[in-house]
Amino acid sequence: MSIDRKGVTDFTREAHAHSIRCLDFEDEQSFEEATRGLIAPVPEGQVLKENGEFVFDPHKLAFAGGEAEQPDTVNPSLWRQARLCAIGGLFEVCDRIYQVRGMDISNITFIEGDAGVIVVDPLISTEVAAAALALYREHRGDREVVAVIHSHSHVDHFGGVKGVVDEQDVKDGKVPVIAPEGFLEAAVSENVAAGNVMTRRSMYQFGILLPPDPQGTVGCGLGIGTSLGTITLIPPSDEITVTGETRTIDGLTFEFMLTPDTEAPAEMHWYIPELKALTTAENCSHTMHNTYPIRGAQVRDPLAWSMYLNDTIDRWADEADVMYGMHHWPVWGSGRVREMIEKARDAYRYIHDETLRLANHGLTPREIAEEVELPDSLAKHWHVRSYYGTISHNVKATYTRYLGWYDGNPANLEPMVPVESAKRYVEFMGGAENVVSKARESFEQGEYRWVAEVVGHVVFADPSHQEARQLQADAFEQLGYRTESTTWRNAYLMGAQELRHGTPSYPIGSTASLDLIEGMTLPMIFNFFAVKIHGVNAADLELDLNLDITDTGEKAILRLSNGTLSHSLVDWDKEAPTLAITRGLLNRLVAGETRLEDAVAAGELEPGPGLEVFRRLGEHLDEFDLWFPVIEP
């Protein structure tokens, strides 16, 4: 597909000049930290599956790595971050701690114990995790993996686990997998129940289909991009349930602190006193993070986030000689560690408190987002700049967390759906040609936000209106070039690309992988079924089914009524038919690894009334199309 792209306008150049005037680009400390301890660069070439399918390109940002001069199509501050994220390889953090950075969006950390190595956060997919482990072993020896630690429940911190450890070794108790309380439920629920819509929106957040270059994606603020390999999951064998718990792992002491409902629903910090090494997981990194990611997720708690960082300062800041993270590069010295955590603590607290202060004055979320700016003491500190999260959408998320989506104005209580309101807006404004003509005048004045908004009505009223599509794409492009946030840049440029070329369609696997399905409890699987029930089509259907899960001994009743699917884990309904099925087969059916007909043909299911009811339930499960349109109806 050819990519139609344009250069910058003078208005965008002026926005970039303003950024340069406001920030200290002479400060090179981050570059010194990001290159410190380099042992070996990432290997040449791409990471591929055994069958040759693409997984990841560690050199995706190579075009930015050695280029100090900022191109005019990238916000200068964001270009600086892209250059830093492009620095990858195997690094020594401190004695016995090593990291591979640049093999995925996240870091994989290797902590050397007395006999083997502890692996922390093994990336998104097995292929990149195995490649990172191979790079570590090439330079540090063939050390046996003696434990795995997951700092939190996002897929970029657990998905590659089977690339570094054999699941049987975990089941046999040879290798513990340690995670915070609630990890498993959080990990599988986020990636399954709303997985389809999150995946589509993630394409905008991460710019997956954008070319990596100064007019396309320049990474994602946290790293150079996401891998597309095999996602796996091994349920934790050891959960940290109380702050203050310790574990001695291969001769090293780990002091844990739980931080739930911060960057992830289940997350934890820890400190290794023998090494004076601290990690705050993903709660303190070299960017303003998301209290709400624009791919969609439950709103996070900036107050809790701030308070846990404050607790971390009280516990360990004065002792720590180094702080390493699950993204970006470490910092060294207790003063620098304290500075980093204090700035992050205050940034999230400021967003929280200012949002509520202004809400109590009656301002709406959009008004508050325009009003709130960090004070200079925070705003000029590089590691709370808006490379990933932004003040704007974090403010709106905080408002929503406390007050919901409604801003109090009855005009916004039940607005018309976008297509209908768009048609009426266009009619009121004198027709599509008049709207586009006036919007073009606004574009020439540099009013790109307004152009994107007003021309969007024409696109929704008439998606075939090419002049409107092209003008909105031009506005999105300028907004993308000037924003400091990678996620906003990617979203704007993805929108421009789809306006110009239409909604794409590529084969991309489901986030509901077999490993994630296997990690779900039986009620979680039934709730996933319930989400997929087509309520309108099933509204008049009543079905009851007993399920006998033969390999686990579990029993359940499924009840379809009034377009909803309920379940109970109690004794069977004597009036209902029964289906005997293994949990393994159920997992494969849910993950799409096999079809019901194939299971019957293979003798895994017995024909009968129970099978027929199960089949009828399946006929009312909706199928989700990943490639639904985003910037048009």
Please give the Cα distance from 290 to 308 (Å, whole number). 16
Whether the pTM exceeds 0.85: the reply is yes
Instruction: Return the residue matching tokens 């700035």.
Output: 343
pLDDT tens column, 173-229: 999 999 999 999 998 877 677 888 888 999 999 999 999 999 999 999 999 999 999
CB atoms within 10 A of CB 155: 22
Instruction: Return the residue matching tokens 């513990």.
Output: 176
- Interaxial angle between packed helices 448-461 and 418-428, expressed in degrees from 0 to 180 and rounded to the nearest 10: 110
Reading the block at residue 302, the tokens are: 């900036």
Give the CA distances from residue 66 to residues 31, 154, 224, 387, in Å, rounded to whole numbers and listed in that order: 12, 31, 15, 20
- Lowest-pLDDT choice from 177-186, 248-257, 564-573: 564-573
Give residue 3's identity as a one-letter amino acid code: I
pLDDT at 162: 97
Mean pLDDT of 582-598: 91
- For 196, phi then psi, to 5°, come to -65, -50
pLDDT at 191: 67
- Helix residue ranges per DSSP H, 92-182: 126-140, 167-171
Q: Is residue 47 scored above 60 in pLDDT?
A: yes
pLDDT tens column, 83-129: 999 999 999 999 999 999 999 999 999 999 999 999 999 999 999 99
Strand, coil or helix: 98: strand
pLDDT band (50, 70, 90) for residue 591: confident
Q: Is residue 66 scored above 90 in pLDDT?
A: no
- Which domains are assigned to the chain? 10-400 (3.60.15.30), 415-482 (1.25.40.880), 521-619 (3.30.1050.10)
